[in-house]
């Protein structure tokens, strides 16, 4: 990638970033640093554990940066009541966006109704907040299954599809992202895609931007339709920007 190309990708990618810390050793000090980085980089949002939502909301108040958190994460369990209760609590703490792990094992064993019920219940709880549904595509693996999960999530009210938790052996892949974008394109109502897990370099960002441009058109990608969920990618983009 030539330097001009790197500059274009960096300028496009930074405002799309969900700057993330979902590490097991995350602390309040790390969240303070994450929020400082988010403001310096002009990203779309931070994505943190539910227990850090209120801290992030206070730190980013008035900036326009959004607070995302994870629900039913990372296991993709099947307790719908807990998912809705956790969502309601996160929203009270100041979350703007909910990243819900689909109960993908239920889908795999043929219980699509259970998976749909959870997405619909969390959708109802979210109200005006953005709902991203994590398909855990590395576990679904098969493109047909990924497309079926995408359709289910979109029909149940997802605002975004998200590839991965970043906690499974296989995270985002271009093949999974293409299957998801194809389903988004087929819908009349708007929805977005969040590519998450394993993105580390400017070249990774460029590949997914090019994929979205090819399938959805060159003007489709904005923070309202496309996100890159990452932690280490931020450093690569800021370095490329010379900061």
Residue ranges in the chain assigned as alpha helix (H): 3-13, 28-41, 53-59, 80-93, 104-108, 112-126, 137-140, 143-155, 174-186, 202-216, 232-240
List Cα–Cα distances, 106 to 85, 156, 186, 196, 238, in angstroms: 20, 15, 25, 22, 40
What is the C-alpha to C-alpha distance for residues 149 and 133, in angstroms, rounded to an integer? 10
Distance between CA atoms of residues 223 and 45, nearest Å: 9
Q: What is the separation of C-alpha 28 from the centre of its chain, rounded to a whole number of angstroms?
A: 22
Query: Can you tell me whether residue 221 is helix, strand or coil?
Result: coil
39 among known catalytic residues: no
Q: Would residue 194 show up in a list of annotated catalytic residues for this protein?
A: yes
pLDDT at residue number 2: 52
User: One of 96, 99, 159, 204 is an active-site residue; which one?
Assistant: 99
Q: What is the pLDDT of residue 124?
A: 98
Going by the DSSP 8-state scheme, the letter that residue 168 receives in this structure is: S
Q: 102 and 131 in contact (C-beta within 8 Å)? A: no
Peptide bond into 74 cis (omega under 30): yes
Query: Which pLDDT tens digit goes with each residue over 161-177?
Result: 999 999 999 999 999 99
Return the pLDDT at 3: 74
pLDDT at 1: 53
Distance of alpha carbon 15 from alpha carbon 238, whole angstroms: 12
Q: Which of 37, 132, 159, 162 is catalytic?
A: 162
Ordered domains of the chain (ranges, CATH): 3-238 (3.20.20.70)
Whole-structure pTM value: 0.97
Query: How many percent of the chain have pLDDT more than 90?
Result: 94
- Residue 14 pLDDT class (50, 70, 90 cuts): very high
Catalytic (active site) residue 93: no
Task: Check 96, 159, 194, 204 and give the catalytic one.
Answer: 194
């Amino acid at each position: 990638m030539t330097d001009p190309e790197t500059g274009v990708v960096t300028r496009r990618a930074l405002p799309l970033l969900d700057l993330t810390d979902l590490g097991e050793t995350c602390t309040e000090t790390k969240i303070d640093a994450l929020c400082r980085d988010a403001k310096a980089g002009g990203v779309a949002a931070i994505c943190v554990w539910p227990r850090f939502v209120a801290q992030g909301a206070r730190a980013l108040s008035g900036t326009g940066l959004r607070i995302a958190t994870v629900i039913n994460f990372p296991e993709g369990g099947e307790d719908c009541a807990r998912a809705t209760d956790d969502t309601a609590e996160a929203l009270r703490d100041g979350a703007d966006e909910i990243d819900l792990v689909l109960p993908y094992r239920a889908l795999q064993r043929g219980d699509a109704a259970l998976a749909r019920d959870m997405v619909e219940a969390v959708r109802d709880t979210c109200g005006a907040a953005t709902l991203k549904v994590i398909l855990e595509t590395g576990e679904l693996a098969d493109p047909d299954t990924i497309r079926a999960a995408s359709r289910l999530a979109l029909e149940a009210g997802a605002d975004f599809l998200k590839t991965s938790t970043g906690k499974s052996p296989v995270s985002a892949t271009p093949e999974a992202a293409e299957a998801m974008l194809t389903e988004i394109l087929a819908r009349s109502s708007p929805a977005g895609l969040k590519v998450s897990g394993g993105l580390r370099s400017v070249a990774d960002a460029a590949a997914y931007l090019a994929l979205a441009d090819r399938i959805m058109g060159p003007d489709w990608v904005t923070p309202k339709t496309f996100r890159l969920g990452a932690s280490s990618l931020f450093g690569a983009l800021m370095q490329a920007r010379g900061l």
